[in-house]
Amino acid sequence: MKRFLGFVKKEFYHIFRDKRSMFILFGMPVIQIMLFGFAITNEINNVNIAILDKSNDVETKQLISKIDASRYFNIEQKLQSDTEIESVFKRGKIKLVLVFEKDFGQKLANQDQPEIQIISDATDPNVANTATNYANAIIQNYVREESDGQTKPSGIVLDSRFLYNPDMRSVYTFVPGVMTVILMLVSAMMTSISIAREKEIGTMEVLLVSPLHPFQVILGKVFPYVFLSVINAIVIVSLGVFVFGMPVKGSLLLLAAESILFIVTALSLGILISTIAQSQQTAMLISMMGLMLPVIILSGFIFPIASMPLPMQIMSNIIPAKWFIIIIKAIMLKGASFAIIWKETLILFGMTSFFILLSVKKYKIRLE
Amino acid sequence: MRLLLYIIQKEFKQIFRNKGMLPLLIVMPVMQLLILSNAASFDIKNIKIAIVDHDHSKMSRELQSKFSASPYFNVTSEMQTAKQADIAMQEGTIDVILEFPYQFEQNLMKDNLVHIPVRINAIDGATAGVENVYITEVIRSFSQNILMSTFHQSGNQYTLLSVEPIPSFWYNKTLNYKTYMVPGILVLLVTMLTLFLSAMNIVREKEIGTLEQINVTPIKKYQFIIGKLFPFWVIGLVVLTIGLLIAKLVFNVPIVGNIALVYLFTALYLFLVLGLGLFISNNAQTQQQAMFVAWFFMVIFILMSGLFTPIDSMPVWAQKLTLLNPIRYFVEMIRMVMLKGAGLKEIQLHLVVIVSYAFVVNVLSVLSYKKVN
């Protein structure tokens, strides 16, 4: 035990002596979360559009000013002919072109169903689809207002209530997601090079001849990083709460416990990578190249998992970040208790044990 | 010149002698492109909806079957009480709860008006908004049919002022997400690989002590740097080539424009990325530091590139910030050329930015490399 404590102490010194790394380690997540929390949203606002008005009458002008007034659109350009559409799309700034047909107002007055072409640059299907829907809704609203007497609701009316996030703020999706991605990657990267580093700079022999059991070496390696990551987690969660107004409806203690569990999961994954990799470079390629995109894309951070093809949904189960995102949103936004998230917790716990056991097994007590 | 060739040869050997390296450099990016491109989509499907039917009338069942028939919804076997549904939503097994009130059919026939409460899990605000639109659409068409038939029975004329919007989706008629995502993800993979490799490179020699050996050789600074970076430049282009082949052959992404433009751009773009990596490497003391700094910039580059979330929706200051993001230019360029068939004229601005950017970064990194420690 005393030997083990000595080893942990040495590891602590090793890490904290490197002031520059400490600065990077704590500074980075803060900058990232501030940046992303304010900047990133998957709402579609201020789409730059162009108008081709072949009718040029009172009705089209009214409708155009309605579109301009909405927060979804920003009329960037007026076009003169159909041939211009292609070239504005190619230049890339304009995402949608509305074409009003000739005699628009006339036809509308005669109940002739005038046409509006909604042409979108569908290279981004999400923006194209959403913007088309918004444009459509504004047009239909305008028509309804024009046809007087029809404003009374009839038929089936929906009373929609949005639970857990009534204002549908995208910050509530992105802040927990960013928190998870940062914690996961920073933690995994830190430990992934810890043993690989000893191999590379040649101090591995010293470790191997020491009387410490492989299990103790690994535990001693992980321990200081748990400490570091917990501080990181506290900073990140505080920023989420105090800067971005994330609620913590559930128990703070539960949130803390789950965060520690997740940190240990990520750290032990890093250790596993470290025991496999021969050099720091390999370790980093695995932990940065190998984890970054899968964690961002498959964790449900940006893309909804339920909408993915079935094989991808199954694959998403092996991404620890997926489970933590579910847990953290449940605690912060829904006020969930342990009874609701025990399953996800158990999965993270299982993953952690698996990573640690495998690392101990893979940890070679002889140099090659 | 001969000296330069020797260094390049040495660096190549060093990379490929390491058995584990090749799969990491080629296989891992390829696998990710193949797998992740399928997952990156904002299409909302399989909305898990619970219907609590208090009415049990012919009409409520009919409306329910409309939801079952829609490809967007998975109707969970009927729930008896609202409470049951609430718990299921807390647990996350249900996204939407629809409640058909008592005397739903009766009231609808009598007053032509009935309210249906809908509760939507809005933790993901954007998804909730789309779900609401889909539900509204199903309900609207159902209720319009009923209105029409009641109008018809009463003999009234049913006319409505209306406009016919004709949507058309250019460049991607079927709104196929893969067409959009595959080139973007390829850009990320090429950038990540080359940035990480170059960022860790020189600092590695520093850390294991071999930099001093090189410093005492008659080699010139620029020869050393070119020798170090050239292999990564080649690897970047190789990964791009394999990725483009996959895009075409596996995902059937159209290549409308001139592919030579993509290569020209990438060849220049890689100078920029390698220069950034070199700059990081020169200024770091350990590989760990270099790794964290490279990662820091990479995450910012990825999330602020407009690849996953639209740049137009960002606040103005953030939009300005994306002008410093190399990935933004690459993503825009590759989509413009491949999907829209843009030519040199349309992407010339992108090229000019990348070339000047590359120039500045490389000058800075060469200046920051000290032959004497």
* Chain B residue numbers touching A294 (CB-CB < 8 A): 32, 36
Predicted confidence (pLDDT) per residue in A123-150, tens digit: 888 888 888 888 888 888 888 777 655 5
What is the CB neighbour count within 10 angstroms for residue A42? 20
A161 lies in a domain? no
- Domain of A113, CATH number, reads 3.40.1710.10
Share of chain A above pLDDT 70, in %: 96
* Interchain pair A89, B340: CB under 8 A: yes
Classify residue A110 by burial, with Cβ atoms within 10 Å: 0-12, 13-18, 19+: exposed
| A219 shares its domain with A346 | yes
Per-residue confidence (pLDDT) for residue B373, from 0 to 100: 47
Per-residue confidence (pLDDT) for residue A201, from 0 to 100: 77
Examine the pLDDT at A362 and tell me if it is beyond 70.
Answer: yes
Range with the poorest average pLDDT among A33-47, B30-44, B148-162, B303-317: B148-162
Residue count of chain A, please give it: 368
Per-residue confidence (pLDDT) for residue A86, from 0 to 100: 85
A58 lies in a domain? yes
Residue tagged 């058309």 (tokens): B168
Examine the pLDDT at B372 and tell me if it is beyond 60.
Answer: no
Predicted confidence (pLDDT) per residue in B234-281, tens digit: 999 999 999 999 999 999 998 989 999 999 999 999 999 999 999 999
Distances (CA, A) of B311 to A40, A295, B214, B324: 8, 22, 45, 13
Into how many domains does chain A fold? 2
Taking CA A353 as the corner, what is the angle to CA A223 and CA A346, rounded to the nearest 5 degrees? 110
Out of B39, B120, B162, name the one closest to residue A113 (CB).
B162
Q: Mean pLDDT across the stretch A47-67?
A: 90
Distance from CA of A212 to the nearest CA of B (A): 25
| A358 shares its domain with A245 | yes
| A110 shares its domain with A250 | no
Per-residue confidence (pLDDT) for residue B86, from 0 to 100: 84
A193 lies in a domain? yes
* Interchain pair A280, B168: CB under 8 A: no
| A292 shares its domain with A199 | yes
Q: Mean pLDDT across the stretch A59-83?
A: 89
Averaged pLDDT score across all residues of chain A: 86
Confidence tier at A75 by pLDDT (50, 70, 90): very high
Examine the pLDDT at B200 and tell me if it is beyond 60.
Answer: yes
Per-residue confidence (pLDDT) for residue B354, from 0 to 100: 95
Confidence tier at B115 by pLDDT (50, 70, 90): confident
* Chain A residue numbers touching B330 (CB-CB < 8 A): none
Higher-scoring residue by pLDDT: A49, B93: A49
Q: Which CATH number fits domain B47-152: 3.40.50.720, 3.40.1710.10, 3.90.1170.50, 3.40.50.800?
A: 3.40.1710.10
Q: Which of B303, B316, B348 has the highest number of chain A CBs within 10 A, making it the mutation to test binding with A?
A: B303
| A253 shares its domain with A111 | no
Predicted confidence (pLDDT) per residue in A183-241, tens digit: 999 899 888 888 888 887 777 777 777 787 777 887 888 888 888 889 988 998 899 99
- Within an 8 Å CB–CB cutoff, is residue A163 touching chain B? yes
A218 lies in a domain? yes
Q: Mean pLDDT across the stretch B184-213?
A: 87
Name the 3-class secondary structure at B47. Answer: strand
Confidence tier at B304 by pLDDT (50, 70, 90): very high
Rounded to whole angstroms, the Cα distance separating A316 from A297 reads: 9
Share of chain A above pLDDT 90, in %: 28
| A286 shares its domain with A328 | yes
> A214, A2 in Cβ contact below 8 A?
no
Q: Mean pLDDT across the stretch B128-150?
A: 80
Q: ipTM of the predicted structure?
A: 0.84
Per-residue confidence (pLDDT) for residue A43, from 0 to 100: 79
| A237 shares its domain with A89 | no
Examine the pLDDT at B193 and tell me if it is beyond 60.
Answer: yes
Averaged pLDDT score across all residues of chain B: 85
* Interchain pair A92, B332: CB under 8 A: yes
Looking at residue A111, what DSSP letter applies? T
Q: Which of B141, B292, B328, B337 has the highest number of chain A CBs within 10 A, making it the mutation to test binding with A?
A: B292
Backbone angles phi, psi at A47, to 5 degrees: -70, 130
Out of B133, B188, B196, name the one closest to residue A133 (CB).
B133
Which residue pairs, CB below 8 angstroms and at least 24 apart, start in A315-320? Answer: A315/B35, A315/B39, A316/B39, A319/A294, A319/A295, A320/A184, A320/A262, A320/A265, A320/A266, A320/A269, A320/A348, A320/A351
Range with the poorest average pLDDT among B170-174, B236-240, B282-286: B170-174
* Interchain pair A118, B165: CB under 8 A: yes
What is the CB neighbour count within 10 angstroms for residue B215? 15
| A16 shares its domain with A66 | no
Predicted confidence (pLDDT) per residue in A278-328, tens digit: 888 888 889 988 899 999 999 988 888 888 889 999 999 999 999 999 999
| A173 shares its domain with A84 | no
Residue extents of the structural domains in chain B: 47-152, 174-368
Which residue pairs, CB below 8 angstroms and at least 24 apart, start in B241-250? Answer: B242/B26, B242/B30, B243/B29, B243/B30, B243/B33, B243/B186, B243/B189, B243/B190, B244/B186, B246/B30, B246/B33, B246/B34, B246/B182, B247/B182, B247/B183, B247/B186, B247/B338, B250/B34
Examine the pLDDT at B101 and tell me if it is beyond 70.
Answer: yes
Token code pair at residue A222:
């992980």
Per-residue confidence (pLDDT) for residue A305, from 0 to 100: 87
| A265 shares its domain with A284 | yes
Per-residue confidence (pLDDT) for residue B152, from 0 to 100: 59
Residue count of chain B, please give it: 373
Predicted confidence (pLDDT) per residue in A247-272, tens digit: 898 999 999 999 999 999 999 999 99
Domain that holds residue A72: 45-148
Higher-scoring residue by pLDDT: A210, B182: B182
Out of B162, B170, B208, name the one closest to residue A121 (CB).
B170
Name the 3-class secondary structure at A143. Answer: helix
| A144 shares its domain with A14 | no
Per-residue confidence (pLDDT) for residue B339, from 0 to 100: 87
- Within an 8 Å CB–CB cutoff, is residue A21 touching chain B? yes
Examine the pLDDT at B153 and tell me if it is beyond 70.
Answer: no
Out of A25, A90, A115, name the one closest to residue B346 (CB).
A90
| Domain stop point among A96, A114, A148 | A148
| A281 shares its domain with A311 | yes
What is the CB neighbour count within 10 angstroms for residue A277? 24
Confidence tier at A15 by pLDDT (50, 70, 90): confident
* Interchain pair B28, A285: CB under 8 A: yes
Token code pair at residue A32:
């990232």
Distances (CA, A) of A291 to A270, B21, B333: 10, 17, 26
Examine the pLDDT at A151 and tell me if it is beyond 50.
Answer: no
Contacts of B361 (CB under 8 A, 6+ apart): B272, B275, B276, B279
A68 lies in a domain? yes
A143 lies in a domain? yes
Looking at residue A53, what DSSP letter applies? E
Tell me the three-class secondary structure of B131-195, residue by residue. Answer: HHHHHHHHHHHHHHHHHHHHHHHHCCCCCCCCCEEEEEEECCCCCCHHHHHHHHHHHHHHHHHHH
Predicted confidence (pLDDT) per residue in B207-221, tens digit: 777 777 777 777 777
